Amino acid sequence: MGVGNIGVGGLLLIAVVVLVLFGRGKVSSLMGEVGKGISAFKKGVKEETEEAKQSLEAARDVTPEQEKDKA
C-alpha cells in the first residue's frame, strides 16, 4: 500500500483521533468556519467573473478612434 491509498478505514481512524484530541465542539466550530470560508471564496469568484464579463462587454462597446472620426 502506498501513502496515498488511505481507504475508508483509515479515514475513520483519523476522524476518531481528531475528535478525541479536539473534542466535538471544537471540531464542529472548525467545520463551520471552513464552510464559511468556502462560501466566501465562491462568492468572491462569482463577483470577479461578473466584473470580468462587464469589462469585456464595455471593451466591445468602445469603438476605435478611427471609426469615431468616420461617423
Has residue 19 been placed in a domain? no
3 pLDDT more than 60: no
In this prediction, residues 2-17 reach a mean pLDDT of 84
Stated pTM of the model: 0.53
Has residue 18 been placed in a domain? no
Cell of 68: 469615431
Distance CA 71, CA 63 (A): 11
Predicted confidence (pLDDT) per residue in 29-64, tens digit: 988 999 999 999 999 999 999 998 888 888 877 656
Indicate the number of domains in the chain. 1
Cβ(19)–Cβ(27) under 8 Å? yes
Q: Which domain holds residue 44?
A: 24-61
Distance CA 18, CA 28 (A): 11
Has residue 11 been placed in a domain? no
pLDDT at 6: 81
